[in-house]
Structure 1
């Protein structure tokens, strides 16, 4: 944690107000308060505390990156926005309904910091017990929305809005390059994507994510769920529209926007 907490607290409080339905935070005024990735992650921690996440930490995360050659980024998710398949989005103050179709992984046992430090992708994948289709609704609490500075988007929980989880099934690494993903918005024909996850394999994110979660000594707890990146880019749904995501061989998830 940076020695001077005041800039971190200022940004976290502005974001917390917006998360609760207040006006969007002014990214132009606040971007000078967050000048490093460490500070952006510190804002995340302060923001989660403001949103009432229990001290033992979140059980849901998002992680990922555009490709294997680029750094992974991570964000804890407030439990109020984690919804079951078919649920609505009542009680959430969403300004946008941008859709990402994902595969979420569930960790089968506690993983401590020492173990996490040396994990390979294959070893981390062996720690997963279940997986499911998930839908992330991407949103922003910044006035500039998706055009806000990159570090401020990290601070805003990687512009997370909500996470909808389908039915969990046993984890089985498949032929991800051939995996199909179908996304249907309302009555429009489904859009089909094949092998389109930027990092190729959902388990790719796990070692870096686990090292991030355990960086202060706390374990990744058994049952923790992490979404692993979009297969469909970013699609825009309309309020009231039903979104259906299917990964043949894995399952499906839906949400009423």
Structure 2
């Protein structure tokens, strides 16, 4: 059974209070736990509408494998920045790092009756860029709570740093690409051909059609980031982080104390 609209609104208010206060939610009421992705997306929509009045221009998507339906979550424009950037460590409860590839669109892909083909989506992509996703959460018990709570919490996103990239991206071979996470000058993780679904374009294509039915689709300049090649690695305050893909580019962020 899905949540009622009042329950969705109450769950969204928990997250809004957490964002506004900077304090994590101590306890998640069982009665408000999302029962489906639709519930989680409804909570996302209310929170996004309150905190991002200009609309969502950046999305994250992920899936553990090709056999599992992907998920999508908004990233607020206030936490999207160009590389290099600085995020004070004191603003975060934890500092999780993921090295990703993100795709920027050069044309609108609005809602329509017919689903977009893979080729139509590919033709609408302006370029591929290296991104670092910063992971943090409004939920204190994020490691043990129901997965749908994390989806409602924008899949525990805190920020996205977009670095350099390439426009001639079609020749990139996902099986040979290697994402590297470099912390304080040391390569901590190198994930070659390590994306969970092989080719991230599978997720980009899904996201376009998913959002065409849910939000009205994509606009020129919108971005979708497609999940980690390095897993999630936690770093300490003061860390200097680089995410890079040879032949694509790099992104940089530091977390001064």
TM-score, reference length from structure 2:
0.91
Match of 1:67 among 29, 46, 65: 65
Q: Hey, what's the Cα distance between the residues in 1 that align with 2:96 and 2:192?
A: 20
Q: Hey, what's the Cα distance between the residues in 1 that align with 2:168 and 2:53?
A: 28
Contiguous gaps of at least 5 residues in structure 1:
none
Match of 1:200 among 198, 201, 226: 198
Q: Looking at secondary structure, tell me which structure has more strand per residue.
A: 2
Q: Hey, what's the Cα distance between the residues in 1 that align with 2:31 and 2:230?
A: 29
Match of 1:226 among 178, 203, 224: 224
Match of 1:77 among 42, 52, 75: 75
List 4+ stretches of structure 1 deviating above 4 A.
Answer: none
Q: Hey, what's the Cα distance between the residues in 2 that align with 1:247 and 1:189?
A: 12
Structure 1 counterpart of 2:6: 6
Gap change, CA 1:171 and 1:20, over 3 Å in 2:
farther
Are 2:129 and 1:139 equivalent residues in the alignment? no
* 1:81-106, Cα deviation, whole Å (9 max, x unpaired): 11111111149832111111000000
Aligned-residue offset at 1:114: 1.7
Aligned-residue offset at 1:80: 1.1
Aligned-residue offset at 1:40: 0.5
Deviates more, 1:226-235 or 1:13-22: 13-22
Q: Hey, what's the Cα distance between the residues in 2 that align with 1:238 and 1:171?
A: 36
Aligned-residue offset at 1:126: 2.2
Q: Hey, what's the Cα distance between the residues in 2 that align with 1:46 and 1:209?
A: 20
Gap change, CA 1:164 and 1:67, over 3 Å in 2:
same
Q: Is the 8 A contact 1:61 1:75 kept in 2?
A: yes
Aligned-residue offset at 1:14: 1.0
Aligned-residue offset at 1:217: 6.1
SS of equivalent residue, structure 1 residue 146: coil
Deviates more, 1:233-242 or 1:140-149: 140-149
* Number of corresponding residues: 253
Aligned-residue offset at 1:248: 0.4
TM-score, reference length from structure 1:
0.91
SS of equivalent residue, structure 1 residue 11: helix
Gap change, CA 1:230 and 1:73, over 3 Å in 2:
same
Aligned-residue offset at 1:28: 3.5
